[in-house]
Structure 1
Amino acid sequence: MQPDTVAFDQKKRIASLWLLSASSLAAIVLIRPYWQDGPVHEFIEVSGLMLIFLAILGRLWSILYIGAHKNRKLVDIGPYSMTRNPLYLSSLAGILGVGLISGSLILAVSMAFAFYLVFKYTALREAAFLEHLFGAAYRDYAKKTPLFLPRLSLYRTATGVRFSQKALTSTFRDSLFLLALFPFLEGIEYLRMNGHLPILATMF
C-alpha cells in the first residue's frame, strides 16, 4: 500500500454515510417485510435491538482507547489489539441491527454491506496515512491485526488508560441516535400495518 501523507478527508465519509442513511430510510419506509408480525418478526426485531446495544457498547469501549490518541500514538491495545477498526465494526453492527428492526433480512444485509464498502474504503485510506505516520510499527501491527473481523486470541490491554472525556461524550451522544431509531421504526411499522404508507415491494 502506498502511504498517504495527508489524513483522509472525513467530510467525504460523512457525506457518503448521510446519503446511504437517507437511501436506507427510504427503503425501510417503502419496503414491507415478509414477516410483518408473529414470532419470526419478533425474533428478528429483538436481535436487531441487541445488536444496537452491542454497537453502542463497542463504540464507547473503542473511544476510551483511541479518543485521546488519534493520529498521535499507535493504539494497539484493548479492542484495537483484536481489530484495527473497532469503531467501524461496532457501527456496522448497529446498522445491521437497524436493518433487522425493520423486519427484512435482505434489507438488513444490503444496508450493512453498503455501509461496509464505505467503511472499508475509509479504513484503507486511513491505514495508508497511519503507515506514513508510524512506519514499521504500523506495518507490524497491520500484519497481525485484521482490518475488521476481530481475532479474539490477540486481545491485550494495559492499566491506567488515558481517555478523552470530550470524545467519549460525543460518541455517547451520537450512539443514542441508534436507540432513537427504534421508536421511529416502530412508528413506521404501525403506519404500514394500518395502510398509511405506500408499499413498493415485499422482501424477506
Structure 2
Amino acid sequence: MAVAALVLFAALMLLAGAVRSLIQRRRTGDAGNRRTWAPRGSLEWWGLAVADLGYLMAALGAPLAALAGMPPLAVVDHPVVRGVGVVLAILGILATFAAQLAMGASWRIGVDQTEHTALVTAGPFRLVRNPIFTAMTAAFLGLAAMVPNLVALAGLALLLIGIETQVRLVEEPYLRHIHGAAYADYASRVGRFLPGLGRLRSHHPHGS
C-alpha cells in the first residue's frame, strides 16, 4: 500500500501541478503560480509552508516511514480502511483537477494582492467556496488512510492548519477586498469547505 500511495501522490502532483500549470500557460500565457511572491514570514508564507509540510508528511513521509518499518496505528489498521483510502485518494485527485479546471483563467496558486481576477461561482463553486482545498484534503486523507501511521496523522494535522490559515487569513480578506459586495453575498450563501458550513455574515444588503 505504501508504494501505491507514492504512485497516487505522484499522479496528484502531475495533474494538479504540472499539467494544470501547462494548461494555464497555454491558455493565458501565465502559469498562474503566485506562491513564491509571498513575503518570507508573512501569513501567506506560513500558511503555504505549513500546508506543504503537511502534504509531504502525509503523502511522502508516511509511505517512506512504512517502507522503513514504522508500524501502522492499530486502531485504523484494517483492509477496509485502506481500501476506502484508495477510493478516496483517487476521487480526491480527480476532483482536485476538475475544480482547478472549473476556475478557468482565474486559477492561481497563491495570492497576488494587486491582481483582480474574475470571481468564480459556477460549477463546484456553487456548492463550496473552496472546492480545490476540499478535494485535496479528501485526497490526502485517502493517502493517509492507505498508510495510517503517526507520520500520516501528523501530516494531516499540519495540512489542515496550513489550509485554514491560507483560506481564512489570506484568501478570504483578499477576495473581500477585490470583489466587495459580490464576494460578501456569495460567501453568505455558500459554505467554506462543506456545503452550508462556514458561511460568512454579509454586511451588504442584496442588490446593493
TM-score range, shorter chain: 0.5 to 0.7
- Matching of residue 47 in structure 1 with residue 84 in structure 2: yes
Partner amino acid for 1:130?
L
Verify the 8 A CA contact 2:62 2:144 in the aligned structure 1.
no
Task: Measure how far apart 1:17 and its partner are.
Answer: 3.3
* CA distance in 1 between partners of 2:130 and 2:104 (Å): 13
Verify the 8 A CA contact 1:51 1:94 in the aligned structure 2.
yes
Q: How many residues align?
A: 141
The CA RMSD measured in Å over matched residues stands at 2.8
Distance 1:115 1:34, change over 3 A: closer
- Matching of residue 16 in structure 1 with residue 61 in structure 2: no
1:51-130 alignment runs, 5 A limit: 51-70=88-107, 71-104=116-149, 108=152, 110-124=154-168, 125-130=170-175
Verify the 8 A CA contact 1:82 1:146 in the aligned structure 2.
yes
* Identical aligned residues as a percent: 28
Q: Paired residue for 2:72, among 27, 33, 36?
A: 33
* CA distance in 1 between partners of 2:178 and 2:73 (Å): 49
Distance 1:64 1:137, change over 3 A: same
Verify the 8 A CA contact 1:41 1:103 in the aligned structure 2.
no
> Where in structure 1 are there 5+ consecutive unaligned residues?
1-8, 153-204
Task: Measure how far apart 1:150 and its partner are.
Answer: 2.5
Task: Measure how far apart 1:22 and its partner are.
Answer: 4.2
Deviations 1:38-79 (A, max 9, x none): xx6221111111111111221122122213224521111111
* CA distance in 2 between partners of 1:112 and 1:150 (Å): 21
Tell me the TM-score normalised to structure 2 length.
0.58
Partner amino acid for 1:18?
D
* CA distance in 1 between partners of 2:191 and 2:104 (Å): 20
Distance 1:49 1:140, change over 3 A: same
Task: Measure how far apart 1:89 and its partner are.
Answer: 0.7
Deviations 1:67-124 (A, max 9, x none): 32245211111111111100011110011111100034x7655433321111111112
SS at match of 2:106: coil
* CA distance in 2 between partners of 1:10 and 1:35 (Å): 38
Q: Is 132-141 or 106-115 further displaced after alignment?
A: 106-115
SS at match of 1:33: coil
